[in-house]
Structure formats: C-alpha cells, structure tokens
C-alpha cells in the first residue's frame, strides 16, 4: 500500500509538471505511430549494425587469459611464410664477378698492344678501329659477367630473374685469384659481347684469344646475391593456416607474437563476415527482436502509464533520451575501438545507462526510469563491443542507485551528488567483480574505479547541460526549475514585493496553505507553493484596485460602478497571462493564472449591481461578473483556487476562532463545488475533505493569538 501511495504521489508530481497545451502533435494517433516507428528503427539499427569486438593484446605482452577461436577461419601465417621464404633462398649459392680494376688494367694493356705492328700480320683484313672496338666490347662483357652454380642459375630462371650475363661456373678452390676460364665460358662471353655488333670472325677470335691467355681474379658479388634472394622471397606466396572453431589461440601467460595478432584480426573479420547484415535470415532475426521490444514497451506504457502512452510529447521525450543515449554509446564505442587496445581493455565497464536514468527520472517518473534503465542496459549489452555480464550488472546497479537518489533533486548542483552516489555504488561492484574473478590487482582496480568516475562525471555534466534543453523543448518543469523560480531575486517576485507588498504577502500565505493541502493528498506541494507566487502577477498593472494593496481609507471602487469594478478585478487574470508570457514563465504557471479563479462570480460587486439595478437585470448581466476561466483542470489548480479564496475571506472574519474558520472553509468549498468549479480537476470527495481539514488546521495555527506582554517599568525611577 505504501508503495502504491508513493507511486501515486510521484505520478501526481510529474503530471502537473508538464504543460497541458494540447494540439495536433500532442494527441494525434499518426504522430504516435510515427514515434513508434522511429523508436523501432533506432532499436533495429542499434541491434543490427553492431560492432564486433575481439580484444587485441599488445605485441610482446603476456596474455592475461586464454583465448579460443569463436569461429573457424584462415589467416595469413607470417611466421610460416617467413620460414618458407628462408628455405627458398637456402639453395642460392655464391655469385662471382671479375675484378673491375683488373679488367680495366687488361683493357689498357690491350690498347697499348694495338699500337704495335705485330697484330697486323695476324689480321690482314681487320682495321685498327674494328679491333679497338672489339676490345672495348669484350671488356664491357667481362665487367657485366657473373658466375654462379647451376642450382642458383636454375632458381633465377624460375623467378624470371634477369640472367643474361650469368654463366654457370664455380671455382674449384677457395682461392679466387689467378684463375683461368674454360673455353665454353669465353664462347658465351664473346657471344654476349658481339651479339649486337657485326664483326669479322677473325677479329673476334683474335681479341678473345688475347684475353683468354690472361689469368683473372674473382670477387664475391654480395649485392647481386642479396638482390636475387629478395626477388626469390617475393615469389613465395603468403601461407594460409586454418584455425577451427574452439582451437586455442592464446594460452594464459603466453607471450603475444605477431602470429597471435594476425589470428585475432582474422577471427574478428570472420565473425563479421559470418554475420552478414544483409542476409535475409539475419534481418529477420533482428526484426523479430525489435518487434518484441517495441510491443513490450507499448503494452507496459498503455497498461501502467496511460498518460504517457497517449501523450505524444512524453513519448517523444522518452524516445529522444533513448536515441541520445544510444548515439553517445556508439560514438564512445567507435572512439575506444579506434584507440589503442590498452585503453579498450582497461575500460571494462562503460557506464552509459545512468545518463538516461537520471534524465527520465527527473523529467518523468521513477518507475518509468527503472524500466528505461533495464531496457537500455539489455539493448546496449546486446549491441556494444563490451563484456556483457559486467556491463549489464554495473549499469543496472548504478542506474537504480541514481534513480533512487534523483527523486529528491531540488538543485542542479545535486545532480553531481547523485552521480557521485552512483560512482560509489560502481566501486562496490568493481571490487566485487575483482574478488569474484580472483584478479584483485591494485592497478586494475584503480583503473576501473577511475574510468567509472570519469563516466559518472561526464554523465553529470551532460545531464546538467541538457536538462534545461529537454524542459524547454518538451514543456516539462522539474523540481529543480521550480526551486529556481522560487528565488526571491526573480524579477517578477521583486516587483511584487516592492510594488504590491500586500499581494505578495497574500501569495506567500496561499502558497503555504496550498502546499500543505497538496502534500496531504499526494499532489505536488512544491509546484503549488511556487506557482502561487506568480498567480496574481496581473495585479501589478492596477494594484490600487485590490484591497490588500489599499493604503489608508481611500477605496477607489467608490468612483466606479459595480460592473466597472468587476471588469477591473477580472482583468487581472488576462493581464497576468500577458505579463507571464512576456517574462517567459512556464505554461504550467500560466495555466494556474488562468484557472485559479475558474469561472467563479465576482460576487461582491455582482451583489452591489443587483442592489442597484434589480434582480432581473442583474441576472441578465451575470456573465459579465464571471471570470473567463477555464475551470481548474488539475488537483493542484483546484487546491490553489480554494486556498486563494479561503485566505482572502479569512481576513474578513470578525472573530478568528477554529469554529469560525471551519464554517468559513466548508461554506466556501461547498459554494465552489455547487458552482461546478471542480468538475474537470479529478479531485475526489475524500481528497476534498482532506484539503479542507488541512487548510483549517493551517489557518488556525497561523492565526492563533499571542499572550499580551506587560509594559516594562523603570525600576530605578521607582527607587
């Protein structure tokens, strides 16, 4: 029973805090359907296009836990590929070349020899220029020539390595000096040297014979050998290894190598490929889950919170908070996934749901906030790349703690206190998880607590900044805003206290009466107290026409007819609405200004008018003496009407006693009821009785008489 009472009080508190302006957007069924479809699209997108998280440990670090393959996949095994590459070049032998300096020296000797006449006897048909050119070409061929073993030469052919100037020749001994080449080598060198130049065979043979008689020094060509090895390695294709589902990837305490990183990266890609987001089966599965979430949410609101279900503004508010929370979560997820894996692994418990919890609890109801918290925790757990069990537990517990703390919010600064309470709860959860997993390491515990603190601080800053935005967009007024409007330094309240002090004092008393009565029946007492401060601001225009502001014995109404006086009195409502709109007061306050007199009769001046013109004529003019209304549409508005009437009438009592006050209150309330002023406010007879008793008690307590203090005598004078 106590829980139901608290729930009803919470419902009442929040119901009056939302503007009652109803237009097409507020009540339209098509708009409600649009909000539902938009909500479904958000949930569908969140669940369907989710990130795949496969933590990648740092290279050369040690694994903190074993990792197995979630799916079967193939990966490029760099270690095996490198091994194959090394094996492919193991057969490559040495590559030799003739000493360039020696070739240059032999060429110089040959040119010197040509200046003698001895060679002309052997080459009767060859010219000097031709023999000279032949020597140059052969020298160039010797410089370009390379010598290696047959296996290496075959490897060159296999990899399409340029082997035009390579000859198969391996020195017999390790001594590479003073070597002679066999005839086949000279034949091949000559063929390469004179392949593009037409010369006499005798000339070619003469030049080759000259160089053949010389001995040559060989040198190892490390550069060409290295180049060949690189070319051979390039031709080795990457090796793909197969990993089956369930195979071990990392064991505990194992040093992480590049092979492990490659396996984890390919596993992530394989998981993503396996979850083909455009596959009909995948789309259908996500659609079914989304439909279930949407249907459950709609049924819950329709059965338990009809005022929310049939209010498009409130539905849009809830969907907006959910959409914003998901947006923040996805942005944060992308930031974490694109940063170093160290940061991603350290942020084990991202606190995202408390943001929605505090907003919904502040703007709507605590029970709705509990449901939204559970809903968001499940959706984000299913869609985010986070540890599921830890994320769900942490966010649920912290959200519930913040909701229980948010119910008593009165100042914006208290949001930080609420979030810090949530952080304290998160510390207990972190400690519990560390103890449960037997990994109670100070470093991990410290980082978990620090990350949760940052999340809750970020939540507090966001809520403080966005609360006013949501209030403005959706026409909602929280207790925080009410406390701000109660500030005596508010421009209108300062004007009231200075320009119309009588009206200001009247408003304070009415606020006290209405607050006490509202609390007694579970209505929003704070709203009544604050709204009454502004309910008579229209009297700022013509304060002299209202009795509480009269100074001396002058009554300005003596100069007016009853009809004119009534019109002046009635006008303070419309003038109050004008002032309120210029001052940008909330619509909820404007509703109170309009309704606090309902459509009641300005009976004093109507009675005088009836005395002047007669009963029949007065009845014809009766509507001119009525307030324009509307009648009170909320319990708070009706209570303020009663308190306003009772407070004003109680000042006219000749004898202020409990019996007189009781008779006055009952009579005034009965007259209001008989006039139909409570027809639209859902105030029950039982609640009306409680309101009357509470106001009587408050008025009697406020108006009790005090003892008369004796006049102080001057004792020294008597002596």
Better-predicted residue by pLDDT, 321 or 391: 321
pLDDT at 14: 53
pLDDT per residue as tens digits for the range 562-575: 898 889 999 999 99
Higher pLDDT, 131 or 356: 356
pLDDT in tens, 523-551: 999 999 999 999 999 999 988 888 887 77
- Rounded to whole angstroms, the Cα distance separating 361 from 406 reads 7
Question: What average pLDDT does the structure give for the chain?
Answer: 85
pLDDT computed for residue 62 by the predictor: 76
Which of 710 and 210 is assigned the larger pLDDT? 210
Residue 185's contacts (CB-CB under 8 Å, 6 or more residues apart) are: 147, 167, 169
The residue with greater pLDDT, 61 or 419, is: 419
**Choice among 72-86, 91-105, 429-443, 611-625 with the minimum mean pLDDT:** 429-443
Is the pLDDT score of 94 beyond 60?
A: yes
> Quick one: what percent of the chain has pLDDT higher than 70?
89
681-719 CB burial, b ≥16 within 10 A, e <16 = bebeeebbeebbebbbbbbbeeeeeeeeeeeeeeeeeee
Task: Identify the pLDDT of residue 292.
Answer: 95
Would you place residue 1 in the very low, low, confident or very high pLDDT band (cuts 50, 70, 90)? very low
**Within its chain, how far is the Cα of 156 from the centroid?**
60
pLDDT at 324: 96
**pLDDT level of residue 66 (50, 70, 90 thresholds):** confident
Q: Going from the N-terminus, what domains does the chain have, and what CATH number goes with each? A: 18-52+276-476 (no CATH), 96-234 (no CATH), 482-702 (1.10.3210)
Q: Is the pLDDT of residue 578 over 60?
A: yes
When pLDDT is cut at 50, 70 and 90, the band that residue 339 belongs to is low
Q: 537: which DSSP letter?
A: G
Distance (Å, rounded) from C-alpha 334 to C-alpha 338? 6
pLDDT digits (tens, 9 = 90+) for 279-311: 788 889 899 999 999 999 999 999 998 888 988
pLDDT above 80: residue 707: no
What are the C-alpha distances in Å from 294 to residues 273, 282, 311, 373, 704? 28, 18, 17, 15, 59
CA distance 143 to 101: 9
Q: Can you tell me whether residue 706 is helix, strand or coil?
A: coil
Q: What is the mean pLDDT of residues 674-696?
A: 92
Residue 650 vs residues 636, 665, 683, 696, 698: alpha-carbon distances, Å? 21, 9, 23, 10, 12
pLDDT in tens, 67-87: 887 788 888 888 888 888 888
The residues facing 167 across adjacent strands are 147
* pLDDT score, position 170: 86
pLDDT band at residue 426 under the 50/70/90 scheme: very high
**Regarding predicted confidence, which is higher, 420 or 385?**
420
Q: Examine the pLDDT at 122 and tell me if it is beyond 70.
A: yes
- Over residues 87-99, mean pLDDT: 89
pLDDT of 141 strictly over 80: yes
- Residue % of the chain over a pLDDT of 90: 38
Per residue in 6-40, pLDDT (tens digit) is 444 555 555 556 665 555 577 788 999 999 999 99
Identify the residue with better confidence: 645 or 346.
645
Q: What is the pLDDT of residue 598?
A: 92
Q: Which of 36-50, 69-83, 338-352 has the lowest mean pLDDT?
A: 338-352
For residue range 451-490, what is the model confidence (pLDDT) as tens digits? 899 999 999 999 999 998 998 888 888 888 899 899 999 9
Calculate mean pLDDT across residues 400-429. Answer: 89
| Alpha-carbon span 692 to 645, nearest angstrom | 12
pLDDT at 360 over 80: yes
Distance, CA of 438 to chain centre: 32
């Amino acid at each position: 029973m106590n829980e139901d009472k608290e729930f009803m009080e919470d419902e009442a508190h929040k119901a009056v805090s939302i503007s009652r302006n109803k237009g097409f957007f507020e009540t339209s069924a098509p708009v409600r359907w649009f909000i539902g479809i938009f909500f479904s699209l958000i949930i569908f997108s969140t669940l369907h296009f989710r990130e795949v998280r496969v933590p990648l440990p740092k290279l050369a670090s040690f694994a903190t836990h074993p990792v197995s393959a979630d799916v079967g996949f193939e990966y490029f095994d760099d270690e095996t590929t490198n091994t194959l590459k090394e094996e492919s070049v193991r057969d490559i032998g040495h590559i030799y070349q003739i000493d360039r300096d020696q070739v240059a020296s032999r060429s110089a000797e040959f040119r010197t020899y040509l200046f003698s006449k001895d060679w002309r006897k052997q080459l009767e048909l060859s010219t000097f220029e031709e023999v000279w050119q032949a020597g140059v070409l052969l020298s160039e061929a010797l410089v370009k020539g390379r010598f290696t073993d047959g296996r290496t030469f075959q490897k060159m052919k296999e990899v399409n390595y340029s082997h035009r100037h390579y000859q198969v020749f391996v020195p017999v001994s390790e001594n590479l000096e003073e070597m002679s080449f066999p005839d086949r080598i000279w034949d091949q060198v000559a063929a390469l040297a004179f392949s593009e130049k037409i010369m006499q065979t005798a000339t070619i043979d003469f030049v080759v014979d000259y160089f053949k008689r010389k001995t040559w020094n060989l040198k190892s060509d490390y550069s060409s050998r290295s180049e060949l090895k690189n070319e051979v390695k390039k031709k080795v294709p990457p090796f793909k290894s197969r990993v089956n589902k369930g195979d071990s990837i990392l064991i505990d305490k194992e040093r992480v190598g590049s092979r492990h990183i490659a396996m984890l990266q390919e596993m992530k890609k394989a998981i993503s490929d396996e979850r083909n987001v455009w596959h009909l089966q995948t789309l259908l599965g996500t659609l079914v889950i989304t439909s279930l979430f949407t249907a459950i949410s709609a049924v819950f609101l329709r059965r338990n919170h009809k005022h929310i279900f049939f209010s498009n503004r409130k539905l849009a508010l809830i969907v907006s908070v959910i959409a914003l929370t998901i947006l923040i979560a996805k942005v944060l997820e992308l930031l974490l996934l694109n940063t170093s894996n160290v940061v991603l692994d350290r942020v084990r418990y991202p606190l995202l749901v408390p943001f929605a919890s505090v907003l919904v609890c502040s703007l709507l109801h605590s029970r709705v906030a509990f449901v939204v918290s559970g809903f968001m925790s499940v959706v984000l757990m299913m869609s985010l790349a986070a540890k599921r069990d830890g994320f769900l537990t942490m966010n649920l517990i912290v959200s519930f703690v913040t909701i229980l703390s948010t119910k008593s919010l009165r100042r914006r600064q208290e949001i930080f206190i609420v979030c810090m309470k949530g952080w304290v709860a998160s510390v207990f959860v972190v400690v519990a998880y560390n103890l449960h997993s037997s990994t109670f390491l100070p470093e991990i515990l410290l980082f978990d607590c620090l990350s949760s603190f940052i999340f809750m601080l970020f939540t507090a800053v966001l809520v403080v900044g966005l609360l006013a935005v949501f209030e403005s967009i959706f026409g909602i007024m929280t207790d925080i805003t009410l406390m701000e409007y109660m500030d005596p330094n508010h421009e209108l309240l300062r004007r009231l206290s200075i320009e119309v002090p009588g009206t200001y004092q009247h408003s304070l008393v009415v606020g006290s009466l209405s607050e006490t009565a509202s609390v007694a029946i579970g209505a929003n007492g704070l709203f009544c107290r604050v709204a009454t401060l502004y309910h008579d601001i229209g009297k700022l225009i013509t304060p002299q026409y209202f009795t509480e502001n009269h100074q001396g014995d002058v009554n300005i109404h003596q100069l007016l007819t009853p009809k004119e006086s009534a019109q002046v009195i009635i006008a303070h409502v419309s003038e109050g609405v004008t002032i309120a709109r210029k001052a940008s007061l909330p619509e909820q306050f404007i509703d109170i200004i309009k309704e606090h007199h309902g459509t009641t009769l300005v009976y004093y001046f109507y009675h005088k008018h009836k005395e002047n013109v007669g009963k029949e004529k007065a009845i014809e003019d009766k509507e001119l003496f009525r307030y324009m209304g509307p009648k009170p549409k909320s319990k708070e508005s009706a209570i303020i009407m009663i308190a306003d009437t009772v407070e004003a009438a109680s000042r006219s009592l000749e004898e202020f006693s409990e019996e007189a006050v009781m008779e006055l209150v009952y009579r005034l309330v009965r007259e209001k009821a008989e006039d139909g002023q409570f027809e639209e406010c859902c105030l029950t007879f039982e609640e009306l009785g409680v309101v009357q008793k509470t106001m009587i008690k408050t008025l009697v307590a406020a108006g009790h008489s005090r003892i008369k203090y004796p006049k102080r005598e001057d004792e020294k004078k008597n002596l």
